[in-house]
Structure 1
Amino acid sequence: MMIAPRGRGKSALAGMFARTLDNACCITAPAKTAVDILRRYAGPGAPFFAPDALLDRCREGMSDRWLLVDEAAALPLPLLRQLMGYFPHVLLTTTVAGYEGTGRGFLLKFCETLPCWHPLRLDEPLRWAANDPLERWLTETLLLEDADVLALAGTGAPQNTAAGAAGAGRWRIGKVGARTWRRQPAARQAFYQLLTRAHYRTSPIDLRRLLDAPSMSFFTATAHYHRQLMAGLWLVEEGGVTSRLAHDVWSGYRRPPGSLVAQSLAAHGSAWRAPRLRSRRISRIAVVPTARRRGIGLAMIAKAAEQAAGEGRDFLSVSFGYTAALWRFWQRAGFQLVRMGTHIEASRGLYSAMALLPLSDAGRRLTLRAADGFERDCRLAAGEQQDLRMEDWRCLAGFAFAQRPPEACRSALIRLIHRSTLPLPALRLWLTQPMP
């Protein structure tokens, strides 16, 4: 694996290596334009394949000695794992401390799972002078460099930090405001770097939100004796819109920015009142590796829920890439699953799931209805015959007379064609056969 910041020439070096292989390799990347430099040095005969097309060819029996993947951190990890399984030798190139903010999470979450990998570091820049003051200023200002992650990139193995000592003791949970981040830059840097190690999507825009974005809540857990950061929780305010706007979101006429979960429950489900209720969405949660499985994350969520309930919020929400282990964590925190995405997200290679933790009577009623509707749709998908309910007729009315998308009404439409004696040929073909 070739690891380097921007401007070090990793794509050019990979292209030179491909030329020595006499085209006995396959080249892939998130987009064909991403390998322009690599192919320039590899020569005109270097074969490029889109990742999904290459996977199809591998399944049909095509194979080569080498697989070269440029900008590997930008590919869905499950797809990357499948591709690597067809080749005896693989070269991955990726940016670690770069502007995308994805390489660090790639190293920590993907490379640790590989049985054997060898890191190759490129440090000397080619596009600008060594120790360029502008690059150094940008790196320090945006907190792009992480000593722990760079150590991992240099050794091919995770490094233990002083957090291990902190994880062994008791902790103190408290709320942190944006003023604290401005007054205590060391605390801000520790919180941000904790996020970058745990979440591959963390980027410099999150650093800006830490400092000045409205409607944010932050909680930290610090070791009682060492005062070292052990965990962090980031919440975002959602909901509280007018009845008219909530109905327009449900109808498909409006999709204003913000309120990810609340709007999704209305736009893709039957909970049109969700945007009206006031809630907080858990945007990020992270615990240092040596302090995990000690209940710190659950304790932070309980503290955040207690405060949110006292401030009149109706529920907490979370959206996450579904895995059985991650869902068990949110279940232990008291959340109920209310929605599952219908498509695998390209960035994570997982289905997106949403869950709610009710805090008020209105929140409990919403959660109960949403969870019941989700379970009912799951039983329908498993083959259960079901009658149309009032919420199905509302959904069908939104589909017929408003702008609700067919994907949001799929379950109601399936119940309709099972009970209707009308021909409805287009609907039946779309719902029963893989046709657009």
Structure 2
Amino acid sequence: MISVEESVHSELIEVLKNHFDTQLWLGFETDLKADEKINKCTTQNFRQFLGNETDLLAYNAFIGLKPSALYALEGCIKTSGLLVIFTPFIERWPKHEAHNRGLNFSHHDTHDESLFIKYFCDTLLSDKNTAFISDTDFNLPLVLDDSTATANKGSIASVQNSYLTNEQHLHLNTLTHRYAEQGNIKSIIIGKRGRGKSALLGELYKWGLNTFESVFICAANRKNCDSIFKVIFEAYPNLSSNNVLFVSPDNLHSVDQSALVLIDEAAALAPSIIISAFKRLNNIVIATTEIGYEGSGLGFNKKLKPILQRDKTVKSIELLTPIRWPADDPLEPLFEKVFASHYSKGKTKSFETFSNNHSSVSNLRFEFIDSSNKTEQQIGKLIECHQLLMSAHYQTTPDDLMRLLDSDDQAVIIAHVNNIICGACIVVKEHLTVDEELAQQIISSQRRLSGNLSLQTIASMLFDQNCLTLNCWRVTRIAVLENVQNKSIGSQLLSCTERLALNNNVDLLSTSFGVEAALLRFWQNANFKLIKIGTRRDTSSGHYSGLFIKPINQDIESTTLLLVLRFELTKIYLGELGVLMPTLLRNEYNKQKHYLSTQARQAFEKLVADKTEAIIANELKITNTLEELFFVAHQLQSNSLLILLRKLMIKGNSAELKLTLNQQIIDILESLNMAS
């Protein structure tokens, strides 16, 4: 950690530039130029460097601290490499103007001090391996002996002119033998960073060149595949990256079923893409982490992996041995501690003892922590809550720890017994005070401010700016220890949240999540009402996102009724349109079919036949059906079919149908004396 004035950075940058072969600089947009040795990135595009290796990682904290970016790229540092963090003066950093630049907080959330940055500094500086340099002080740790600062050479075996660890070699043989026995290969490779997942994919690519007619590499970004390319080019020096077949996730559907497809950083892709690829392709191997820094790593582990493993031919393997750094390297465990990625072993044992004592759950005690009592003394509890959320929720990231500690709008209700936290409920307080012009832009959907999701959505739905000034608590997470789930702890947490909301003059509670059966039952049992459902699937969960509300203040029950009515009428409207869809399709098709190729006609006929029954039963969204038809049209490259579908879209969104819906709403509102 280098804590000096920004004006001194240029001198230090020159020193560092001359000492490392490969370098990655995060947040140094204007300080240096990229070249063969130097890579630059921002906190927005850092994911394109996942899977790469570097000797030096330098982070400019003057642009703000983004935990997920730092945690992700820390895993790229090789043996004997160095992480350098340029910070404002340590004693001033928690209150420095940069303390809230790294993340987007809710509109008007202007906390004066960062508890997270104080915790971050204290944790790093208390570690014996952290060097600290400032204008007035320095602390340099002892240099590790060379014998410990080397890779795990004893575990490396020579295989066909390449080098793999014994563990990698074992798994490579397992997968290739599996193909020889059953005629196809479907596998999931998991492991922490630096375990050689990408290198193993590279070896599979080399094997696949002699086994399959074509082998494809896929990732969210081509740059994520550099480690795979390195293995390939070492074996085939005459190849260039242009000779290696790379397919983007959106084009996986075009790959031949018999080809071998290797997907790296799979947790960064939408679950629907992975599921579809596993269903369609005969030979597919994916590699991923499970911690969450690829985008939704925990989502992969908790949601996607169980779905893929329903297919008994799918083989799951895990790489445990670090090869990018030594097994006793201090940086990985230090950052796992800093970002509270999982519980310690001792904590896990205490949970097991607690869960065996069934009577203990009846002695729940609740605690409320918000900006009024969020102090350094509470940091330990908040970190444990974050660890619980990491273990239970697929979308929890290191950024959420910073928000939990720093945001004035975030509060947590904790359930614990005998000092063991067994449940937590995170709420975000929503309330907007804006001028008339901005309010009009929000309700007309021209502007959307950061945070305040529920109130802005409700105000826009009802075209009523008064809704922006309501006091709303949005429940963003509820998590319960796995060993004591299904004991009503989650329901008790929610009941406690309602009581606290009532005592704090809150008007309504809200929540938003990917709608699936179990979650839907939980929230409906708590009398939350669905008022809106999205038209696109959430990337991590693979489900459509729904917005639910529950009035706390009786004065807004009429507003809740209005929102529920609006949603129900929209469903009726879509249902009527759904019944009309097959007829509209058939009429337009009969007019246009002589322009279509035989292949396009057959595909269209089959789709209409398959979808008609489901559409009439109101089981499919109209938009989804149209999207699927458009997909087929693009796949067939049929301009005539695209024109046909565009005409259908115009009919489906006709003013006449919209007026019918609006008139239904007006009729009901007039009967309730709420037409205004």
TM-score (norm 1): 0.77
Alignment check: 8 A CA contact 1:171 1:221 kept: no
- What is the aligned partner in structure 2 of residue 398 from structure 1? none
How many Å separate the matches in 2 of 1:384 and 1:91? 42
- What is the aligned partner in structure 2 of residue 356 from structure 1? 549
Question: How far has the Cα of 1:383 moved from its partner?
Answer: 1.1
66 and 384 in structure 1: CA distance in 2 versus 1, 3 angstrom threshold: closer
Moved more, 369-378 or 110-119: 110-119
Does residue 6 of the first structure (1) align with residue 193 of the second (2)? yes
Match of 2:540 among 344, 347, 362: 347
171 and 77 in structure 1: CA distance in 2 versus 1, 3 angstrom threshold: farther
Match of 1:298 among 487, 491, 494: 491
Residue aligned with 1:96, SS: coil
Question: How far has the Cα of 1:416 moved from its partner?
Answer: 4.3
How many Å separate the matches in 2 of 1:103 and 1:32? 19
Question: How far has the Cα of 1:343 moved from its partner?
Answer: 1.8
Alignment check: 8 A CA contact 2:260 2:283 kept: yes
Q: After the TM superposition, which residues 204-353 of structure 1 pair with which residues of structure 2 at under 5 Å, given as runs?
A: 204-223=398-417, 226-242=418-434, 244=436, 245-268=438-461, 270=463, 272-353=465-546
Share of identical aligned residues, percent? 27
- What is the aligned partner in structure 2 of residue 396 from structure 1? none
Alignment check: 8 A CA contact 2:271 2:539 kept: no
Match of 2:356 among 156, 165, 169: 165
Query: In the alignment, residue 33 of structure 1 is paired with which amino acid?
Result: K
Query: In the alignment, residue 391 of structure 2 is paired with which amino acid?
Result: R
- What is the aligned partner in structure 1 of residue 169 from structure 2? none
Question: How far has the Cα of 1:417 moved from its partner?
Answer: 6.1
Question: How far has the Cα of 1:358 moved from its partner?
Answer: 0.4
Question: How far has the Cα of 1:20 moved from its partner?
Answer: 0.9
Match of 1:199 among 393, 417, 436: 393
- What is the aligned partner in structure 1 of residue 328 from structure 2? 131
Alignment check: 8 A CA contact 2:292 2:397 kept: no
Structure 1 residues without counterparts, runs of 5 or longer: 152-159, 386-409, 421-436
Residue aligned with 1:357, SS: strand
- What is the aligned partner in structure 2 of residue 432 from structure 1? none
Alignment check: 8 A CA contact 1:237 1:279 kept: yes
Question: RMSD across aligned C-alpha pairs, in angstroms?
Answer: 3.2
Q: After the TM superposition, which residues 395-434 of structure 1 pair with which residues of structure 2 at under 5 Å, given as runs?
A: 413=655, 415-416=657-658
TM-score (norm 2): 0.51
- What is the aligned partner in structure 2 of residue 176 from structure 1? 368
Query: In the alignment, residue 248 of structure 2 is paired with which amino acid?
Result: A
How many Å separate the matches in 2 of 1:166 and 1:243? 55
Query: In the alignment, residue 6 of structure 1 is paired with which amino acid?
Result: R
Alignment check: 8 A CA contact 1:239 1:278 kept: yes
Question: How far has the Cα of 1:19 moved from its partner?
Answer: 1.1
Query: In the alignment, residue 366 of structure 2 is paired with which amino acid?
Result: G
Residue aligned with 1:210, SS: helix
How many Å separate the matches in 1 of 2:661 and 2:472? 38
413 and 247 in structure 1: CA distance in 2 versus 1, 3 angstrom threshold: farther
- What is the aligned partner in structure 2 of residue 38 from structure 1? 228
Structure 2 residues without counterparts, runs of 5 or longer: 1-187, 234-238, 579-651, 663-676
How many Å separate the matches in 1 of 2:285 and 2:537? 26
Alignment check: 8 A CA contact 2:299 2:541 kept: no
Where relative contact order (Cα < 8 A, 6+ residues apart) is larger, the structure is 1
182 and 97 in structure 1: CA distance in 2 versus 1, 3 angstrom threshold: farther
Does residue 81 of the first structure (1) align with residue 275 of the second (2)? yes
Larger Rg: 2
201 and 265 in structure 1: CA distance in 2 versus 1, 3 angstrom threshold: same
Does residue 383 of the first structure (1) align with residue 549 of the second (2)? no
419 and 83 in structure 1: CA distance in 2 versus 1, 3 angstrom threshold: closer
Q: What do residues 368-413 of structure 1 show as CA deviations (whole Å, max 9, x unaligned)?
A: 111110111111011179xxxxxxxxxxxxxxxxxxxxxxxx9895
Alignment check: 8 A CA contact 2:443 2:460 kept: yes
How many Å separate the matches in 2 of 1:384 and 1:16? 53
Residue aligned with 1:85, SS: helix
Residue aligned with 1:34, SS: helix
